[in-house]
Amino acid sequence: MKSFIEPNELARDSRFIRQDNVAATILSTLPDDVDAVVEALERLDPMIEKGVRGTEAEPLYEEYGPGFALVTLNEPLDPTSPSAGTRLALRMHGIFVGELQALEGAGRSLWDFPDAPWEFKMNMARQCWDETRHVQIYEKLLEHVGGYAGMFPESTFLFECACSDDPALRVAGVNRGLEGLACDVFRDMIRYAEAIGDETMRQAVDYVLADELTHVRFGSDWVKEFTKGDPERYEKAQEFRRKVDKQFSFGGARSEREDAAIPIAWEDRREAGFTEQELDELREITADGPSRDTMREAARQLRERHHARRAASAERASA
């Protein structure tokens, strides 16, 4: 079996639809400027449209245009909104494929570094065991909220951003970046489950979150161990984590902002071994990027343009 596989080589059965990762990457680099956001999304429109064709995201695309990701990612989940069901399924599906990729990340860490210490391999094996359970739990939760595997396109963005061929960077990216994001998202899901009184969801996510804290700790321990006596490599690992955190902030959707779609789970992160300095950095990294007002205005313009295009082509067709 070969080492260091490319994200496009991840195996999926025919239920899954692969989405290009460009949109997610671009979203993480957008400035706080309506025109720039609109222009970037318009450019991606053909690719976004192709990616959603035939999936359950198609109605969202038809309603909001290429900015539908801005709407779904940047607004907090609200049980009273009319699209609450679709958006909850979209979030669940994203977590479900995220768990798949976390399993693949941990599995690759076990395989790609044959010279790593035995304890490291045991930790990664333990994580594979956990992630397998998480995949099963989220597949069931997805069905619990009325969804199914493959209903939305899958972006392998998480795997792509978090994997490196240096084991110190790999655990920094997967076990601190990706797993840290999992802590934030799962705490938010627990809050949501409490708000709608869904005890099944609350308890299932709470169990998964407890495992994720352990996975972040694996990352905290092994970054230190792999970079012992090598401050330069340690700095490289920290820099890699900062880069991953920036990409996983989705243009400020995950941030400290009062009304962030995914608030940062400070307490869980402290418990998992993030230092105060790292949390301060995270606060800073996630603070820049477009504001909610910018995103909302960009989404409004994108929607308007999308409907104008649709009306124009309908007119051409009937002429």
Chain residues binding Fe ion by CB under 5 A are 99, 102, 131, 134, 179, 212, 215
Which residue, 188 or 212, is less far from Fe ion as judged by CB?
A: 212
Which residue, 77 or 183, is less far from Fe ion as judged by CB?
A: 183
State in angstroms the smallest separation of the CB of 130 from Fe ion.
6
Which residue, 99 or 139, is less far from Fe ion as judged by CB?
A: 99
State in angstroms the smallest separation of the CB of 63 from Fe ion.
32
State in angstroms the smallest separation of the CB of 144 from Fe ion.
17
State in angstroms the smallest separation of the CB of 163 from Fe ion.
14
State in angstroms the smallest separation of the CB of 260 from Fe ion.
22
State in angstroms the smallest separation of the CB of 30 from Fe ion.
28
Which residue, 144 or 296, is less far from Fe ion as judged by CB?
A: 144
| Separation of alpha carbons 83 and 282, rounded Å | 31
Amino acid identity of 55?
T
Residue 24: its H or E element: helix 22-27
Which residue, 88 or 103, is less far from Fe ion as judged by CB?
A: 103
- Going by the DSSP 8-state scheme, the letter that residue 175 receives in this structure is I
Which residue, 63 or 271, is less far from Fe ion as judged by CB?
A: 271
Which residue, 127 or 227, is less far from Fe ion as judged by CB?
A: 127
State in angstroms the smallest separation of the CB of 266 from Fe ion.
19
